[in-house]
């Protein structure tokens, strides 16, 4: 299976702003250990660096989605410190959110629902793109959350759903392309 990092030369243009000048801020939310940093680093094309476990980074990159360039800044800062201020700020600043749980950890799945509720409260009147992500789909034997449970949760919380494996690079590209499509859908409907 090809990794996104190795086949990225044609899909990465530059870091910078979108063709219409916008740079979309995407925030990763989720419990410790679910794979936020792993997903962010695959997006950033830097997953092989030595400090792979270190949280608290942002990844700025342009990708081509449906023939059009989009610039994303992915924030992996949710767990940077325990400050309420930072977490409140995260809930306010994003143009889109990726809420991650691990399919091997039921508690992280329950936490994902709490985060969705928190987000709804912080951004009541806004229709912000959210993707619920069940990561670690490669760990078949230790699975605690089924695909159906994940999908049902996304229906209840009115967001998109995808299962990924950062370890196998499975669906990671689709995840970030999906975020761009969700952002565009809302932007287009506003412009109409
Ligand atoms: P974070 O705390 O949410 O940022 O999680 P990390 O990205 O630091 O990942 C926590 C641990 O889970 C690390 O040891 C990762 O290598 C591992 N991990 C992350 N994603 C996957 C995955 O898709 N499959 C497997 N098997 N392990 C993963």
pLDDT tens column, 41-73: 999 988 766 555 555 689 999 999 999 999 999
- Reduce the DSSP state of residue 98 to 3 states and report it: strand
- pLDDT, mean of residues 162-191: 94
Q: Which residues contact 80 (CB under 8 A, 6 or more apart)?
A: 55, 56, 86
CA 40 to chain centre: 8
- Reduce the DSSP state of residue 83 to 3 states and report it: coil
End-to-end CA, the chain: 40
Instruction: Give the span between the Cα atoms of 192 and 189, in whole angstroms.
Output: 5
pLDDT digits (tens, 9 = 90+) for 72-89: 999 999 988 778 888 899
CA 137 to chain centre: 16
pLDDT digits (tens, 9 = 90+) for 133-147: 999 999 999 999 999
| % of residues, the chain, pLDDT over 70 | 83
Q: Which residues line ligand 1 (CB under 6 A)?
A: 30, 32-38, 53, 55, 135-136, 138-139, 165-167
Residue 14: pLDDT band by 50, 70, 90 thresholds?
Answer: very low
**Residue 49 DSSP code:** S
Of 52, 24, 20, which is closest to residue 39 (Cα–Cα)? 52
pTM of this structure? 0.88
Average pLDDT, the chain: 87
Instruction: Give the span between the Cα atoms of 154 and 166, in whole angstroms.
Output: 20
For residue 33, the CA-to-ligand 1 centroid distance in Å is 6
**ipTM of this complex prediction, to 2 decimal places:** 0.99
Ligand 1 mutation pick, 166, 168, 173, 175, max ligand atoms within 8 A of CB? 166
């Amino acid at each position: 299976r090809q990794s996104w990092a190795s086949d990225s030369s044609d899909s990465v243009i530059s870091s910078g702003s979108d063709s219409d000048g916008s740079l979309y801020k995407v925030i990763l939310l989720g419990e410790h250990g679910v794979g936020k940093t792993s997903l962010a680093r695959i997006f950033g094309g830097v997953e092989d660096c030595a400090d792979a476990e270190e949280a608290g980074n942002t990844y700025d990159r342009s990708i081509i989605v449906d023939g059009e360039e989009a610039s994303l800044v992915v924030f992996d800062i949710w767990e940077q410190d325990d400050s309420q201020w930072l977490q409140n700020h995260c809930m306010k600043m994003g143009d889109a959110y990726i809420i991650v749980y691990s399919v091997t950890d039921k508690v992280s799945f329950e936490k994902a629902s709490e985060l969705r509720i928190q987000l709804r409260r912080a951004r009541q009147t806004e229709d912000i793109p959210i993707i619920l992500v069940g990561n670690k789909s490669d760990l078949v034997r230790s699975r605690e959350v089924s695909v159906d449970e994940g999908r049902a949760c996304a229906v209840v919380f009115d967001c998109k759903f995808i299962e990924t494996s950062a370890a196998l690079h499975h669906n990671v590209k689709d995840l970030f392309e999906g975020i761009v499509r969700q952002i565009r859908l809302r932007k287009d409907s506003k412009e109409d």
